[in-house]
Amino acid sequence: MHFAVTSLTAAEEALRAEVREFLAAELPAGSRPALGFAGRHAPEFSRKLAARGWVGMAIPPEYGGHGRSAVDRFVVAEELLAAGAPIGAHFVADRQTGPTLLQFGTEEQRRRFLPGIAAGEIYFSLGMSEPDSGSDLASVRTRATRVEGGWRVTGTKVWTSEAHRNHWFAVLCRTSPPEEGSKHAGLSQLIVDLHADGVRVSPIPYLDGSHHFNEVALEDVFVPDEMVLGELGSGWQQVTSELAYERSGPDRWLSTFPLLREWLREGPGRDAGKHATDDEAVVLGRLASRYRAIRQMSLSVARALDAGEAPAVEAALVKEIGTRFEQEVVEALRAAVETELDAGSASLFEALLAEAVLTAPSYTLRGGTNEILRGVAAKGLGR
Amino acid sequence: MSDDRSMLVEVATGLFGDLCTPEDVVAAEGSGWSARLWDALAESGFPYVSVPEEAGGSGGDVADACALLAVAGRFAAPVPLAEAGLLGGWALGAAGLELPEGPLSVAVGRPDDTVSLTGGPGSWSLSARVHRVPWGGRAERVVLLAPSGGSTYVVSAPTSSASVTPGRNLADEPRDTLTWDGGALPDDAVAEAPPGVHADALRLRGALARAALISGALARVSDLTVRYTGERHQFGRPVARFQAVQAHLVTIAEEAQLAQLAVQVAAGNARPDPSFADVASAKAVASEAATTAARHSHQAHGAIGMTKEYELGQLSRRLWSWRDEFGSERWWNRELGRRLAEAGADELWPRISTGLVTA
């Protein structure tokens, strides 16, 4: 395991300045920031961002993207997340589906989906969890049966974020029975149209009352052969590699940053015409110093990816500590203000704090629980 | 890391590996230090890395010195390496004073210290009482910052004329109280402090040096804990196979990496001097990491970690000492937080997103 310290080049800093300028113009002062990548679904914003070349950055120009480095993507992502920009519409397609299609997809699939992803117009959900399959993903029961020209898929996916707004989802399912000694064999990923016949999307109300989660029931849904993602039977390897390299970005440690900023604006600092008390200063200093160090870890992984390395253990460590830290920020600020929470508070900070308390448990669950991550990381440490 | 720095680290690792084994550290704790190790380091010029060659030092920069200190921390080295170069040597070199042949330490600037320099060229005399001086009784000279007549002076005070009251930190490293009772000082022991050499700057360097030592010790604690839990069998398998133990290993590794990166940013940006924000972040993160990693490594080790001979305790006792020296995490977090609150909400992200800056 190794995290090399790295700095941003002049070109990377210039990119940051451009994004900051764009955000200053697009996000009016005083508007409510989104908390994290899943915070707000805003197709219009996604398209504007795409018009600047900041969606599909990992996608090569031949597929409508921009062929930018992992560090460039890091810089754009951290600016968007720190500002609380509404990136929920395109973010999963951009972070996860695009790179997966590039790595495993057919030429036809790339031509069909990547330009739309890069334009901020095609949105994907992830079809992994099921009612009886969470961390033990290989136990999925959704099944695809061979038919003329494709597959018939039946099963139920749950916790499917934004399935009611997105266009497609990548479904992990069984295309042949598990083999003796390997439950990972016989799994495949299929790209399923969320509006196809036999797909039923129903809301699962989220803890804060919003509509975010869905149950997606698939009943004999026809999926043509050309929508098999990657190799038949390689679904397990594909989803695990997909999870491994997309673990360490700013979306894993910045979700609650806007909360800290709004606290500073309303509470202990110059904006409110106050001086921080000792306790307030300690909270602010601690969170800031840890943000800086975690950011450096996360940036180091991006740099390693650009160098062609495979920092899977490092990425797991970043997500593990980053998501726990996102939660710590919430509790540290709650302890600092001593108030009774009300989501309808007239104070932007308090309203955000209420939202954060209600959504924070998801940070250490989504994309692989911290218990699973610790297992991955600990095995890597022992090697 | 530059080639020169890699080479420095490699050579230092070999030297400490030979002369600073866990047995050597146990032995040195009785007497408070290892003369053999110090002599070998001095012969290689290691104590004065980062002090310019023109000033009699070994050259190199703050980042080189911190890389060296991380190695020293990893080996729990019982010598005043941090005090000699980054602190004392820096001040003497900047003031144009000679570096001593023997060990050099520094008055760390405790609130209860008193320093009075009187007279002038040909008639300097020093009355001072300074506390918690690292290896003060072993040093040949101790650097003091002395206000006198509206200026600040750098004093290279000879310990031969001081009385020494021994004290120790939790790792049995000497932290002595030294008293000078109005004795005369030679002219070549006093010089006016140049701009930039003052108590706050010394504190920044001290905190950075301790953070660097901590980062090296943490890397070793992480390795030791991974090794031990991989070898120790209970219930028929290595304890590292248990999820509860894996959680310890991961937390230790995370904290060690946070500390290391924070130190490398602060050291790398020190061209030539470390900045407040970088050092505050580095020392706060490193001190908290010391606390967290020591707790988890002891829990993962069980009773063996509680024995004086086992290497973990040599490291954890240093972590518990170094985390408070030159300011605890609370102290640095508070100072950093005050400045951030003064700067306001819209300045927060630009400051957080400033990491290592390209030279």
Where do the domains of chain B lie, and which CATH numbers do they carry? 3-192 (2.40.110.10), 199-352 (1.20.140.10)
Number of folded domains that form chain A: 3
Note which residues in 249-308 of chain B have CB less than 8 A from chain A.
Answer: 249-250, 253-254, 257-262, 264-265, 268, 280-282, 284-285, 288
CATH code for position A363: 1.20.140.10
The pLDDT tens digits for B182-223 are 999 999 999 999 999 999 999 999 999 999 999 999 999 999
Alpha-carbon span B262 to B281, nearest angstrom? 7
Domain boundary among A122, A147, A181: A122
Least confident window among A5-14, A80-89, B29-38 = B29-38
A281–B335 C-beta distance less than 8 A: yes
Q: Are residues A170 and A70 in the same domain?
A: no
Report yes or no on A272 lying in a domain. Answer: yes
**What would the mean pLDDT of B239-256 be, rounded to a whole number?**
97
Report yes or no on A238 lying in a domain. Answer: no
| Residue B71 contacts A, CB cutoff 8 Å | no
Q: Are residues A293 and A332 in the same domain?
A: yes
Do A59 and A102 form a contact (C-beta atoms < 8 A)?
A: yes
**What would the mean pLDDT of B9-13 be, rounded to a whole number?**
97
Q: Are residues A256 and A320 in the same domain?
A: yes
Domain boundary among A233, A258, A280: A233
Q: Are residues A251 and A377 in the same domain?
A: yes
Reported ipTM: the value is 0.97
Do B32 and B164 form a contact (C-beta atoms < 8 A)?
A: no
- Chain A residues near residue B353 by CB distance under 8 angstroms: 16, 78, 82, 295
Q: How confident is the model at residue B168 (pLDDT cuts 50, 70, 90)?
A: very high
A265–B349 C-beta distance less than 8 A: no
The pLDDT tens digits for A340-361 are 999 999 999 999 999 999 999 9
Note which residues in 125-154 of chain A have CB less than 8 A from chain B.
Answer: none
The pLDDT tens digits for A191-209 are 999 999 999 999 999 999 9
pLDDT at B46 over 90: yes
CB-based burial label for A6 (10 Å; 0-12, 13-18, 19+): buried
**What would the mean pLDDT of B348-356 be, rounded to a whole number?**
97
Report yes or no on A55 lying in a domain. Answer: yes
Question: Which distant-in-sequence residues (6+ apart) come within 8 Å of A202 by Cβ?
Answer: A214, A215, A217
Which structural domain, as residue segments, surrounds residue A305?
247-382
pLDDT at B33 over 80: yes
Domain boundary among A233, A262, A286: A233
Q: Are residues A372 and A261 in the same domain?
A: yes
Report yes or no on A63 lying in a domain. Answer: yes
Q: Are residues A315 and A366 in the same domain?
A: yes
Return the number of CB contacts < 8 Å for A and B. 176
pLDDT at B356 over 90: yes
- Residues of A with active-site annotation: 246
Q: Are residues A92 and A108 in the same domain?
A: yes
Report yes or no on A4 lying in a domain. Answer: no
The pLDDT tens digits for B92-115 are 999 999 999 999 999 999 999 999
Q: Which residues pair with B183 in a beta bridge?
A: B126
- Chain A residues near residue B258 by CB distance under 8 angstroms: 290, 293-294, 297, 321
A5: closest chain B residue by CA: B261
Q: How confident is the model at residue A245 (pLDDT cuts 50, 70, 90)?
A: low
CA distance B338 to chain A (A): 5
